[in-house]
A and B are shown apart, each in its own frame.
Chain A
Amino acid sequence: MKTLLTFILALSATSVVTAQTFIQGIVTDTKGEALPGVNVFIEDTYDGTSSDGNGNFNFTTTEKGEKTLVVSMIGFHPSAKTINCDGTKQQHSFVLKEKIDQLNAVTITAGAMEASDVKKAVVMKPLDIVTTSGAMGDVIGALTKLPGTSTVGNDGRLFVRGGDASETNIYFDGLQVGNAYGSTASNVPTRSRFNPNLFKGSFFSTGGYSAEFGQALSSALVLNSIDMPLRNQTDLSLMSIGGDFTQTLVGERNSVTASGAFMNLAPYQSIISQNMDFEKAPSSWQAEILGRQKVGKSGLLKAFYHTEHAKVSVNQEQPGTDEVLTTSINNNYNFGNINYKQALDNGWSYYGGVSASFNQDNIGINGTQFKLTNTLNHIKGVIVKDFSDRLSVKNGLELYHSTYKEKNETSQQERSFNENTYNHFIESDYYLSKNLVFRAGLRSTYNTLLEKIWATPRASLAYKSGENSQVSFAYGQFKQLAKPEIRIQKNDLGNSESSHFILNYLYSKKGRTFRTEAFYKSYENLIRYDSASSRNLYGLNNNGSGYAQGFDFFYRDNKSLRETDFWITYSFTDSERNLNNFESKVTPGYAPKHNASVVMKRFIQALNSQLGFSYSWNSGYNYHNPNMAGEMQSTTRDYNNLSISWSYLPMPNLIIHFECSNVLGYKNEFGYQYATQPNAQGQFESLPIQQVADRFLFLGIFWTISKDKNANQLNNL
């Protein structure tokens, strides 16, 4: 009995008599500051402790022999060393190096505006596209309320910093979209083709952008589709101009969103008078499907297809004659995109895909029929290697195949060309510290039509100048070939070139963002011609040059006023270039000098409503008046547009949305069209280029049906 007791007592007391190793030390960061709360432990045991307020730690262990002592702390690289647990008292000190991650590292913001829900320096949120008054649910409509852009009301496309609309390329999940805007008659504004609800975010660059993108002199807009929707749901919308049905099905590892929509402005135009004589009001139907499949641990495969058919016919008076120009357009459009991304171990990741765009316009101009066909295929593969949290390198290959054909169906004449371009880009980000980052890139291209090879360098850096502020700088060279409609007339036209210099300052503190940017762009080898007649340009050459310079301000605040989010922007653009067949350098019509906008949204709980307004102003558009000496010497009156919107939520899954653009009915003009020949008095007669209608009214009902009772329209506000 006694022996048993002794034995058991001895057994339970083993730990007491075992020799213990006493470990103590201190943990500091690279600046020598003590780190409190660091986890210090012997690997694969429970033995360990946390460092105290002075970075000191001590603990004992009963382990024996060689063991690994690990120190780890959130935000720092862990450190480890082998120790010998020999029952002695030991001293171990550690210096931890701070991790550089998305949260604490400076990001390059020169020329870049990212729409993201998570980033702190919010210039734009993904939802802004749907909720900005006056944007009318068009991605581009919302972007024109941001710094560096100008509203060109008779065009509808994106004009960035003195560049024309063709200088901006649009990408869908990294792959280029051909003919991203709907086809339209001249002076009838267009819209971008894709439903804004498809996207979770976007990256909009007003210059100096990454080597990943090329063949765009001014700007790149990258739209990223939603990876995985949350639930099965049906969305129905009924609008004053059409309807839309969307079904989303979500599985464990895959999902699909399919939608069909139609739009017809005829009923609307029969009630509300238009300034333009539409023979056939714009109408269209479209279908879209987006599928996603998770692959393995981190792979995601997405496939998207969009098809669209649109029609419009408009009669336009011509100055100086009684003649009416009738333009009718029949557009067929298809876009497909398959892409894949995956993160591998050891810092490797890759992404890439294939996209195909097909656009066909059947255009009738006073009875003469033209058929224009564009195709663009884009194949891209990119490998990214993060060597550490400080250095990453991106390496990509791209192949573009494009064709363009135009045919005069009345005279049966046709012409066409096609080309391949092979591109390689390499870009590296290097963080000297979390406060300073450098980026350098090079894009190289070989074009089969020109049989030429060229390279364009890009570089940028960003420095965190304070807790909430940063400065960044971007430089880049950009080349772009002329539009296919021009190059088909002279195949060997070379690249136009632009160099960008951008300096950016950003201050951002919880709910408030201030951003200012100054830029200079040079333009070389711009396209010029000697004379024009109908679609033909004579004496085409690459001898043009020019510049654009200016600055902009942006302030956004969702903090100061209760339940209110607002932003204010101002952009100054000074731009001159050799344009078309002008002798001197002139300011183009699409580059107003002063641009400003104010956007505000406020949720009023008592009304279950979100009210919003946006006000855009610019100092007028330049135009050429042949009755006066000089070139492009005249400017229209100021542009003004006050838009209001009201979203009413009677229940969580229903929104009734009302919107009115240009409420005050301001008679905006975008320039003047002059007769080609002077009249008997020697004067060129003119007609103003006006808005299609003084106001645009929109009423829509959006209804979400889901078994999941939590589905609601809140995220559409």
Chain B
Amino acid sequence: MKKTVLTFAILIIVVTSSIAEIINPYEKAMKAQLALLDSAQTIQEYQAVANSFERIAQKESNEWLPLYYAAYSYINIGFDKSLTLDQKDTYFNKAEELLKKAETLSANNSEITALRGYAVMAKLAADPASRGQSLSPVAMQLFGKAIQQNGKNPRALYLMAQMEYGMAQFFGSGTEKACSMAKKSVFLYENESIEGINPYWGAEMAKEMTTKCK
């Protein structure tokens, strides 16, 4: 009897999980790629994961998340120091193009807006002497808009804190405002679920920033 119950239980688990896979291969594929994204370090690894997200995106043409993560992967590639400015811009432009498409699938999305700001911030960081003045207001405007769209988006808050911090340093003014934003973002990160396929990146960077604040 015990055995039957066990078999039955196993059976149920097998059935439900395989049914879940049949019903939602999308989430399964996304989760697999998110694990790879978390561990990616090199251009090759990020490119491979970006390719995977793009493959998912072309199949699931109504989902914004694959486009979002492909863009996020490309932005990460663009930070690689071995690239020339033109090459970096190629990746950032690609990210912006993907995010533009994502926006048509999901309007008023705080995550997309914040990532668009992150792409602008990355472009700025690629050549701060030439681009600082023109791009910093653009990045801040996008982070501001992302916070407006969702005040509980820790990424929008953390990225804005980054910009505020740089600005405060530039003007030689206090970093209190930037630091309190960073702290608030850490709090929001702590309450964020990292189970699903929604964005959850950035917690460690935000924590690191708060240590700088002390």
Contacts and interface: CB of A to CB of B under 8 A. Distances in A.
Query: Do A and B come from the same complex?
Result: yes
Contacts of B9: none
A606 B131 contact: no
A12 B18 contact: yes
Nearest to B21: A12
Contacts of B91: 74
B18 A46 contact: no
A75 B44 contact: no
A392 B108 CA distance: 36
Given A37-B48, A44-B58, A117 B134 contact: yes
Contact of B136 (A41, A125, A708, A714): A714
Contact of A714 (B11, B51, B137): B137
Given A37-B44, A46-B29, A511-B127, A120 B90 contact: no
Contact of B172 (A43, A510, A606, A708): A606
Interface residues of A, number: 50
A74 B127 contact: no
Interface in B58-92: 58-59, 74, 85-86, 89-91
Contact of B137 (A48, A50, A230, A606): A230
Interface in A20-40: 36-39
A717 B134 CA distance: 10
Interface in A590-633: 605-606, 608
Contacts of A44: 58-59
Interface string B157-198: 000000000010011110000000000000000000000000
A606 B138 CA distance: 26
A415 interface: no
B47 A50 contact: yes
A536 interface: no
B83 to A, nearest CB: 12
Nearest to B93: A103
Contact of A46 (B25, B94, B129, B136): B25
Contacts of B137: 230, 710-712, 714-715
A565 B129 contact: yes
Contacts of B51: 37-39, 41, 48-50
B56 A125 contact: no
B144 interface: yes
Given A75-B90, A230-B138, A652-B167, A715 B44 contact: no
B54 interface: yes
B11 A37 contact: no
A715 B94 contact: no
B46 to A, nearest CB: 9
Nearest to A127: B133
A459 interface: no
A715 B55 contact: no
Contacts of A36: 44, 47
Contact of A53 (B44, B52, B173): B44
A649 interface: yes
Q: How many B residues touch the partner, as a band?
A: 35 or more
A171 B59 CA distance: 47
A453 interface: no
A651 interface: yes
A39 B130 contact: no
Nearest to B25: A46
B105 interface: no
A43 B58 contact: yes
Contacts of B89: 103
Contacts of B138: 230
Contact of B14 (A12, A38, A651): A12
Contact of B131 (A45, A50, A117): A117
A122 B90 contact: no
A350 to B, nearest CB: 22
Contacts of B109: none
A275 to B, nearest CB: 37
Contact of A120 (B18, B58, B86, B172): B86
Contacts of B47: 36-37, 50
Given A39-B51, A120-B85, A715 B129 contact: no
A511 B130 contact: yes
B125 interface: no
Contacts of B167: 652, 712, 714
Nearest to B127: A510
A690 interface: no
A38 B54 CA distance: 12
A160 to B, nearest CB: 26
A558 interface: yes
A559 interface: yes
A198 to B, nearest CB: 16
Contacts of B52: 48, 50
Contacts of A103: 86, 89-90, 93
A118 B132 CA distance: 11
A714 B136 CA distance: 9
B59 to A, nearest CB: 6
A104 B86 contact: yes
A231 interface: yes
B149 interface: no
A449 interface: no
A49 B141 CA distance: 37
A710 B138 CA distance: 10
Contacts of A510: 85, 127
B205 interface: no
Interface in A73-101: 74-75
Interface string A554-576: 00001100000100000000000
- 7 cross-chain pairs, A with B, having the tightest CB-CB distances, nearest first: A39-B51, A37-B47, A117-B134, A50-B48, A710-B140, A558-B129, A50-B51
Interface of B: 4, 7, 11, 14-15, 18, 25, 29, 43-44, 47-48, 51-52, 54-56, 58-59, 74, 85-86, 89-91, 93-94, 127, 129-131, 133-138, 140-141, 144, 167, 170-173
5 contacts: A74-B91, A74-B94, A103-B93, A559-B129, A652-B173
Interface of A: 1, 5, 8, 11-12, 36-39, 41, 43-50, 53, 72, 74-75, 103-104, 117, 120, 122, 125-127, 230-231, 510-511, 558-559, 565, 605-606, 608, 649, 651-652, 708, 710-712, 714-715, 717
Given A511-B130, A652-B167, 6 more contacts: A5-B11, A39-B54, A44-B58, A48-B55, A652-B171, A715-B137
